[in-house]
Amino acid sequence: MVYFKKFKSGLRMIVVKNEQLFSVSCGIMAGVGSAYESEKLNGISHFIEHTTFKGTAKRDSFSISADSEYLGSRLNAYTAKEVTLYYIKSTTDKIDDSFEILSDIYVNSTYPEEELEREKGVVIEEINMSDDTPDELCLDLLSEAFFSDKGYGRTILGSKENVKNFKREDILKFREKYYTAENTVIVFAGNVNEKQAESLVERYVEGKLPTGNRILAPASDIKFGVKTVKKDIEQIHLGLAFRGEKLNVNTEELSVASTILGGGMSSRLFQRIREELGLCYTVYA
């Protein structure tokens, strides 16, 4: 059963109920990611995701982790091209307290100056780790070659120079623009009913976010090019991309096509390039 509600503020909620489970997963998603960023602010969505865990009006960084772990809940987040998602998973009997923690960091984060400076080092090391992981670097270069160096061509992590230069006012201004009620979706999935979910949202989120219209990611110019980076490693990592269909096509059909092409050991790419020719260890689509 799927239940949808739109609140007065424009905030949207989806509940996917499954009474066979003993747990509930809940996510609060802001409709913003690296595709929305300018060159100067590239990486700020991801940096905000990190620093949102660094303190609220009622919890410091350690308390956020300790309070969620005390409940046996799993609290985390990730940033993508178009969205930033904060999520928590808990047993059904702990969902009230778990959602309070999740909503607290989304609504009430304070971004202490000293925590921001400390976290810059963490994110820079994450960039270093990505640069040292050839398959991740290959995908970043593929996006940059295909979409140019703006919009969808921007990396999620951004550059080390950008991260060093982010200021607290940049974060607050960016949040004010994108972390609005109209640009936020809350999803509950698991053993939870819609009335309980609605009550939690009304108690902790509704009316507490800035208002503002939903913002779509700017269009990215598609160009066909080649990006090459030489590294002192034993393998070559190669990525290919081509223009796809518009978003209103049947995504299930595209998923099936992708699986046939490179989704497993029986896929055409795997059978031909690895099994028949022995040219690679990993190949996928």
How does pLDDT run across 186-211, given as a tens digit for each residue?
999 999 999 999 999 999 999 999 99
Catalytic status, residue 49: yes
Cβ proximity of 29 and 84 under 8 Å: yes
Cβ contacts of residue 122 below 8 Å, gap of 6+? Answer: 50
User: DSSP letters along 200-256, please?
Assistant: HHHHHTTT-S------PPPP------------SSS------------TTS-HHHHHH
For the entire predicted model, the pTM comes to 0.92
What is the pLDDT at residue 98?
98
State whether the Cα torsion 66-67-71-73 is positive or negative. negative
Token pair of 220, please? 């990215």
Q: How far apart are CA 102 and CA 97, in angstroms?
A: 9
- 184 with 11: CB under 8 angstroms? yes
Q: What is the average pLDDT across 216-225?
A: 79
In the prediction, which pLDDT does 195 show? 96
Q: Percentage of residues in the chain with pLDDT exceeding 90?
A: 81
Mean pLDDT of 274-285: 94
User: Alpha carbon 182 to chain centroid distance?
Assistant: 18
Interval 85-94 mean pLDDT:
98
Task: Work out the number of other CB atoms within 10 angstroms of the CB of residue 111.
Answer: 18
pLDDT digits (tens, 9 = 90+) for 52-71: 999 999 999 999 999 999 99
CA distance 269 to 285: 8
Q: What percent of the chain has pLDDT over 70?
A: 99
Per-residue pLDDT reduced to its tens digit, 3-30: 999 999 999 999 999 999 999 999 999 9
Terminal-residue alpha carbon distance, the chain: 32
Amino acid at 90: S
What are the CA-CA distances from residue 131 to residues 128, 141, 150, 160, 166 (Å)? 5, 11, 19, 11, 21
Best CA proximity match to 68, nearest among 86, 51, 81: 86
pLDDT given for residue 255 in this prediction: 87
Is the pLDDT confidence value at 150 over 90? Answer: no
Q: What pLDDT score does 184 carry?
A: 98
Q: In the chain, where are the structural domains located?
A: 2-133+151-204, 246-285
Q: Which two tokens stand for residue 78?
A: 């990730």
Superfamily of domain 2-133+151-204: Metalloenzyme, LuxS/M16 peptidase-like (3.30.830.10)
CB 73: neighbour CB atoms within 10 A?
A: 22
Q: How many Å is the Cα radius of gyration of the chain?
A: 21
Q: What is the pLDDT of residue 213?
A: 83
pLDDT at 87 over 70: yes
Determine the pLDDT at residue 220: 74
Is residue 146 within 8 Å of residue 241, measured between CB atoms? yes
Selecting among 19, 37, 49, 245, the annotated active-site residue is: 49
Distance CA 34, CA 82 (A): 7
Q: With CA atoms as reference, report the closest residue to 43 among 127, 113, 121.
A: 127
Mean pLDDT of the chain: 94
DSSP annotation string for 32-61: --GGG--TTTTTHHHHHHHHTTSBBSS-BH
Least confident piece of the model among 2-6, 105-109, 248-252: 248-252
